Amino acid sequence: MRPPALPRPRTSAELEPDPYVPAHGDTSYTVAHYDLELDYRVVSNRLAGRARIHVRTTRRIDRLALDLAGPLAVAKVLVDGKRARYAHRAARLTVTLPGQVAAGAALVVEVQWSGNPRPSRGLWGEVGWEELTEGVLVAGQPDGAPTWFPCNDHPGIKSTYATTVTCDSPYTVVTNGVLVQRVVRGSRTSWTYEQREPMAPYLASVQIGAYTAARIADAPDVPQTLHVPPRLKAEALHDFGRQPQMMAVFTELFGPYPFPAYDVVVTDDPLEIPLESQGFSTFGANYCTGRRSEERLVAHELAHQWFGNAVGVATWQHIWLNEGFACYAEWLWSPHAGGQSTDAHARRWHASLKRQPQDLVLADPGARDMFDDRVYKRGALTLHALRITVGDSVFGELVQSWVADHLHSVVTTDMFVTHAQRYGGATARSLLKAWLEQPTLPELPRR
C-alpha cells in the first residue's frame, strides 16, 4: 500500500540517543511511514509480516539498524527493491546499504519476517506482544514495539502507519488509526487501518479478541467506541458512560481532541494496569465492574491522547510530561464526577509524598524509576503548583498553547520551562526549576 499523502511530522526537539533505552533506536535516520502487512494465527501464536519502511537519513551512512526481537526470524531484506545484506543479532537488525548514502536521502527498506512473538523482559517487567486466553494485546511502552515489527524504536521518531492484519474471522482486530477496509475471505478476515497522525513506535498496538463493538452514547463530536467481550457489554457501557462528558471537559481545558476518534478495548483477561495507545486505550476485565470504581483511570488514559500521544517526549527522561499531565487530569475530572476538588487531591498527595524518600529528580528520574508513582504524582503536583502561581486563566492559556504549538511533535522539559516562562515570567521558571530539579519536595503554594 502506498503511504498516504500527508504533511511531514514536525519535530520540535533535537533528535538524540535515548540513555534510558540505549540498546534501541538509531538516530542516523528517521522514519516517515511504516506500511505493515501482518498475518496472525491465534491458536499457534504464529506471526508473519512484511514491513515497508520509508526512511530519511540524518547523516551520511552506509548501514542502518532496526529494532526487532530475537524470536522473530528475518527471511529477506530489500533496500529500494533490491536485496540487501543484513545481520540480526541481539534484537538489532543491521542492514547494509548499497554504498554510502548522503544525509537527507530517502530510502525504502523492506523486511519480511515470521515467528512466535512473545514479550520482552527488562527493567520494567514484560512488555510488547502478549497472548491472552483468547487473542492478543500489545503493550509497547517503553520498548516493546520490536516484539512484533521491525522499527526505529525511539520515542522521538514519529511516523505515519498503514497496517493490515489478517486473522481468523471470529476475532476482531483493533489497531491504531481509522479502519479503511475490512475484507472477509472464508475463515480469514483482513483489517486495514491508516494512522495518519504521526506516532512513536511504542504507541503502536494490536488488540485481537472475541469482541463486540458498542458506540458510547452522547458522543457526537468525537466518535467513541467500546470493543468488549459480550458478557461485559452492559458493565462497560456504564463504566465508560461519562467518557463523553470527560472528553468535553478535557477539550475545554487542553484544546481540541487531536485524533479522529477514541476507542476503548476491554480484554476478557484481567490486566495489572490499563495502557494507552494512540487513538485508543486498553483495560482489563477487572476494571469493568459496572460501578465506575476506576473512573479516574478512564480520565488518565484519555488525557494521554493529548499528553504523550499528540505531544510526545523526545526521550524517556522527560516522561513526567506524559504522566504528570495524565495524573493531573484525574484530579481535574474529580469535581465534575462529584468527587474531591483538584486542590484537595493535590494536598492529600503532597502530604503522602513528603513521607516518602526524597531522592527522585523529576526532570531525570533514571531508567529504573521512570514509572515510579512519585513521577506521576509529583508531576501532577508540579502542574498544580504552577497553576496556583500563575492563576487559572493564565494556566489554561499556557496548557492549550503548549498542545497547539507542539501538536504531533516531541518536546523536552527545558522546552516546557521556557514555554511556562512566557506566561509566568521568572517566577514560573524559578518554581519549575525547584520542582523539577531538586530531589526534596517543595512546599505547595497556598491558593
Over residues 81-96, mean pLDDT = 97
* Residue 8: pLDDT over 60: no
Residue 193 lies inside a defined structural domain of this protein: yes
Do the beta carbons of residue 296 and residue 248 sit within 8 Å?
A: no
Domain stops at, among 287, 305, 323: 305
Residues 6+ apart with CB under 8 A from 366: 20
Do 98 and 79 meet the contact criterion of CB atoms below 8 Å apart?
Answer: yes
Task: Give the domain-ending residue among 210, 229, 259.
Answer: 210
Residues 260 and 272 in one domain: yes
pLDDT in tens, 221-256: 899 999 999 999 999 999 999 999 999 999 999 999
CATH of the domain at 144: 2.60.40.1730
Same domain membership, residue 204 and residue 68: yes
Other Cβ atoms less than 10 A from the Cβ of 16: the count is 13
CA angle 428, 17, 302 (to 5 degrees): 55
The verdict on 195 and 280 lying in the same domain is no
Share of the chain above pLDDT 70, in %: 97
Query: Does an H or E element contain 308, and which?
Result: none
Q: Are residues 146 and 174 in the same domain?
A: yes
What pLDDT band is residue 12 in, cutting at 50, 70 and 90? low
**The CATH number of the domain where 297 resides is what?**
3.30.2010.30
* Residue 120: strand pairing partners: 127
Write the DSSP symbol of residue 79: E
Q: Tell me the three cell numbers of residue 181.
A: 477496509
Domains held by the chain: number: 3
Same domain, 183 and 236: no
Q: Is residue 76 part of a domain?
A: yes
Model pLDDT, residue 5: 39
Look at residue 447 and tell me if it is in a domain: no
Cβ atoms 79, 107 nearer than 8 A:
yes
Is residue 149 over pLDDT 90?
yes
- Output the domain CATH number for residue 400: 1.10.390.10
Q: Are 76 and 112 spatial neighbours (Cβ–Cβ below 8 Å)? A: yes
Q: Grid coordinates standing for 31?
A: 522514519
Between residues 190 and 10, which one has the greater pLDDT? 190
Task: Give the residue numbers spanning the domain of 125.
Answer: 1-210
Q: How much is the pTM?
A: 0.96
Kindly state whether residues 351 and 432 are assigned to the same domain. Answer: yes
93, 74 contact by CB (below 8 A)? yes
Would you say residue 132 has pLDDT above 90? yes
How does the average pLDDT of the chain come out, rounded?
96
Contacts for 121 with CB less than 8 Å, ≥ 6 apart: none
143 and 283 housed in the same domain: no
